[in-house]
C-alpha cells in the first residue's frame, strides 16, 4: 500500500537558523498529486523531516523521496521504479 502523504523539505526556502543549522519550510506531498501544500510547521531541518516521515507517518526514506520527485515532475506512473531506484541509492 502506498503512503497517503509525506512531508518534504522545500530547499528553495533554505536558510540557516541561529545555531547555524540549515532549515527550510516544510510542505506536504499527497500521493498522486502534483506539487505540495504548505504547512504550519515553520522552518525545520532535513533531519526533522526524515524523523517525522519515519516515526510519525511510518514512511520509509525511499518512499518519501519518490513521492517528492513524482509530485515535482508529475511522474506518478513511475512511482514504483523511482522508489526502487531511491532504495538502491539510499542504501549505499
What total number of domains does the chain contain?
1
Please, are residues 34 and 79 in contact by the beta-carbon 8 Å criterion?
no
pLDDT in tens, 43-79: 999 999 999 999 999 999 999 999 999 999 999 999 9
Mean pLDDT of the chain: 96
Query: Which triple of cell numbers denotes residue 34?
Result: 502534483
Q: What is the mean pLDDT of residues 26-36?
A: 97
pLDDT at 74: 92
Whose CA is closest to 67, among 38, 32, 26? 32
- Phi, psi for residue 15 in degrees, rounded to 5: -150, 175
Domain containing 73: what range? 5-90
Q: Which three cell numbers stand for residue 2?
A: 502506498
Instruction: Answer for the pair 43, 15: CB distance below 8 angstroms, yes or no.
Output: yes
Amino acid at each position: 500500500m502506498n503512503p497517503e502523504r509525506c512531508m518534504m523539505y522545500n530547499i528553495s526556502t533554505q536558510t540557516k537558523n541561529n545555531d547555524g543549522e540549515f532549515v527550510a519550510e516544510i510542505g506536504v506531498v499527497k500521493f498522486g498529486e502534483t506539487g505540495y501544500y504548505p504547512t504550519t510547521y515553520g522552518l525545520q531541518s532535513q533531519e526533522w523531516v526524515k524523523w517525522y516521515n519515519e516515526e510519525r507517518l511510518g514512511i520509509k526514506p525511499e518512499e518519501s523521496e519518490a513521492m517528492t520527485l513524482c509530485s515535482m515532475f508529475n511522474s506518478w506512473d513511475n512511482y514504483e521504479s523511482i522508489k526502487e531506484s531511491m532504495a538502491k541509492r539510499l542504501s549505499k
